Structure 1
Amino acid sequence: MKVCIVGAGQIAEAHIEEVQKIKGATIVGLCDLRKTPAQALADKYNIAASYISIDEMLEVAKPDVVHITTPPGSHFFLALKILQGGSSVYIEKPVTLTAEESEKLIAVAKDSNLKLCPGTHRLRSFETIEVFKAINEESRFGEMIHMDAVFGYNLNGIFGKLVTSNPDHWIAKLPGQLFQNNISHPIAMLTPFLSDDLEITSFAFDRSNNGVVNDELRVQIFDRKNKVTCSILFTSNALPVQFVVRYFGSKSTINLNLTEHFWMEDTAPTFPGGLGLSLNIRARAKKLKTQYWTNFKAFWLGRETFFSDMKRLVEEFYQSIETKTDAPIPYNEIQRTSNIIDKICQQISSPGGKS
């Protein structure tokens, strides 16, 4: 599998490190408009060639797949060019700036017998895989009733401070600003269990008074077809910074913690009164202990890293290209995520009511 990377920023390094762990995958080129960073990153990771022209890279390197790690404003243009050039695309979130652009990319990928995959890699964390299996066991979880997603963001970090201090930062120029660059992750955890008949209400505000970007977002979703409700809380002010999702079923409730890599299932007590409550707490404690040791060994021994879920998703994507099977993230889920983001962006404004 011949791989090229477009972009030479911090997230590009994560892609490179995970791709280089995949058997049979070779990074044959790296492209960035800035020659010096591109060459420096290529040298750091022993990549054969660097380019400042994507056309030259596609012509010379002839990659099977290209990873797009640039800011979102360039995603549609780059992905379209790459697909039309004959390569499949793994694209960082958000896939595009509009639902219409996502729809076009999916259509081009299908018509060209190529593949498209978004970088919503938390869908391939071990705990997510286990949770989705549990949800799909109807006798265990029952029917989906409601979903809650909480996504925290640290504006006090280096990148966050760059955003809030610069009205011309590319984040501030996105239609959905800070939210559009990150909200694909929590939305992607909900879309597998939603239809396309959705009523969406959202509002945003600048709680920290930074004056550049809104830093708090609230979203309510009602799935008319399935009679399922959802809420999304995007917060840059609540601590600790966390990414958690709760799935409420007719038979059990599942709590998925993607920050600390564990999940718990709450069920009704099997015994009455205090005994039943105590036994439920005991069962949770036992499961937490098991997950603690599993995680401790996995991270201590290096079997799991911060981006191991990215490696799993990328590996599945490469296999789908080689075997000519469906891409790991269904296209209808990609489009549904884009549709939801579109609707949110239409309902919110930047600080001070500026569009």
Structure 2
Amino acid sequence: MDSGKLRVAVVGCGQIADAHLAEVRKIRTAEVVAVCDSYPELARQAAERFGVARTDTDVARMLAEVRPDVVHVTTPPHSHAPLALQALAAGAHVYVEKPFTVTVAEADEVLAAAARHGRLVCVGHDQLFDPCWAELRACHRRGDLGRVVHVDSVMGYDLSGPFGRVLAGDPDHWVHRLPGGLFQNNISHALYKITDFLPDERPAVWATWFGQSGRVPTELRVMLRGAEATAGVLFSSQARPVQRVARVYGTKACVEADLDAQTLRWTRPAGMPGPFGKVQRPWRHLTEAARAWTRSVWRFARSDLHYFAGMNALFRAFYRAIAAGEPSPTPPGDIRRVTVIMDDIFETCRRQEGGGK
């Protein structure tokens, strides 16, 4: 083993851990030295699939004996805070899968511990590091959008998928014990795209959730109002196709980011009068689509067009920050803002269910 590499341990060997293990394996400056799960068979299978030498069922023992530089927490959300605190106390930097914690009180505790121990924490806001979102951020920094006045974030969820079928068929599944249920495990993806443009510490929240035929809530609608901009969230398990789309509306232009297609589609003021402008807009969209197709083909040829491209980029950014002694690529303030908004959304929805009490 190259002693110059960051020594990475993964705690939790469920479905998302496979993505972590696969992406870390692509990074030459890091090496997974241990996997840990309370179910020994899950740990053993993960180690076999990804060639990891050490398996364990006891986090404290693994931390003491392996002494990893970085711990990835890929367990259910209710265990994120205690495991992150344990890893930080052992001297490790910590990457936590979304959602960061179940409540903002837990988030504050973890962030304070990281500062106290002089370690970095990072959360799985990986879609901010997808190529198309990185391009959108660069365009915004150049001033292409002008002042942002509204953001819409759409997130679809397939309840007929492997994870969806399990939670829908098991009333005792851990998802149902979260304050936000199904949404708490997923909605941070929709929210951090909004907070990327909505800087308010605590925007005003209106939210409602509902299910079909008396089932547990599977649909969520949210409106946020900040000092200078507003935002909306559409989380749907019914809309097809399942989408990951955000639309950003600015004073100069509007743009739609399709995270599945990895494309940006711009709408700008017409540069030509009357009917000529009506011809110009589809022409612009056509040329944009042609350029996007060319880029996608090139990325496909380089084996760089895949679902977890943003995750890989975020891992690399986090590891670089550790090596260079720089701040985390997901700043503590951003982590906290998303958690605060989640708390407010779920409290608003529960209050509505209780008749506004």
Q: TM-score scaled to structure 1, two decimals? A: 0.95
Matched, 1:191 2:195: yes
Secondary structure, counterpart of 1:82 in structure 2: helix
For the Cα contact (< 8 Å) 2:148–2:250, is it kept in 1? yes
Of 11, 19, 39, the match for 1:6: 11
Q: Which runs of 5+ in 2 are unaligned?
A: 1-5
Q: Which runs of 5+ in 1 are unaligned?
A: none
Of the structure 1 ranges 143-152 and 191-200, higher mean CA displacement relative to structure 2 is found in: 191-200
Secondary structure, counterpart of 2:326 in structure 1: coil
Aligned mates of 1:351, 1:276 — CA distance in 2:
46
Secondary structure, counterpart of 1:204 in structure 2: strand
Deviation digits for residues 145-185 of structure 1 (CA, Å, limit 9, x no counterpart): 11100100001112111111111011111110010000000
Secondary structure, counterpart of 2:238 in structure 1: coil
Deviation digits for residues 2-40 of structure 1 (CA, Å, limit 9, x no counterpart): 000001111101100000100121111000001111112
Runs of 4+ in 1 over 6 A off after TM superposition: 350-354
For the Cα contact (< 8 Å) 2:202–2:337, is it kept in 1? no
Deviation digits for residues 108-152 of structure 1 (CA, Å, limit 9, x no counterpart): 1112110100111000000000001112222x2111111100100
| Residues 122-133 of structure 1 aligned to structure 2 (within 5 Å) | 122-133=127-138
Aligned mates of 1:161, 1:210 — CA distance in 2:
17
User: Match of 1:32?
Assistant: 37
User: Match of 2:119?
Assistant: 114
Structure 1 residue 304, shift from structure 2 partner: 2.5
Amino acid at match of 2:226: D
Aligned mates of 2:300, 2:11 — CA distance in 1:
29
Aligned mates of 2:188, 2:309 — CA distance in 1:
19
User: Match of 1:286?
Assistant: 287
| Residues 280-319 of structure 1 aligned to structure 2 (within 5 Å) | 280-319=281-320
Amino acid at match of 1:334: I
For the Cα contact (< 8 Å) 1:206–1:351, is it kept in 2? no
| Residues 32-111 of structure 1 aligned to structure 2 (within 5 Å) | 32-111=37-116
Secondary structure, counterpart of 2:305 in structure 1: coil
Aligned mates of 2:353, 2:102 — CA distance in 1:
22
Of the structure 1 ranges 282-291 and 193-202, higher mean CA displacement relative to structure 2 is found in: 193-202
User: Match of 2:326?
Assistant: 325
Q: TM-score scaled to structure 2, two decimals? A: 0.95
- Residue correspondences, number: 350
For the Cα contact (< 8 Å) 2:202–2:341, is it kept in 1? no
- Percent identity of equivalent pairs: 33
User: Match of 2:230?
Assistant: 229
For the Cα contact (< 8 Å) 1:214–1:350, is it kept in 2? no
Aligned mates of 1:261, 1:162 — CA distance in 2:
29
For the Cα contact (< 8 Å) 2:156–2:242, is it kept in 1? yes
For the Cα contact (< 8 Å) 1:214–1:351, is it kept in 2? no
Secondary structure, counterpart of 1:284 in structure 2: helix
Amino acid at match of 1:222: R
Question: In angstroms, what is the RMSD of aligned CA positions?
Answer: 1.7
Deviation digits for residues 278-327 of structure 1 (CA, Å, limit 9, x no counterpart): 11211111111110121123124412221111010001000101101010
Aligned mates of 2:334, 2:8 — CA distance in 1:
25
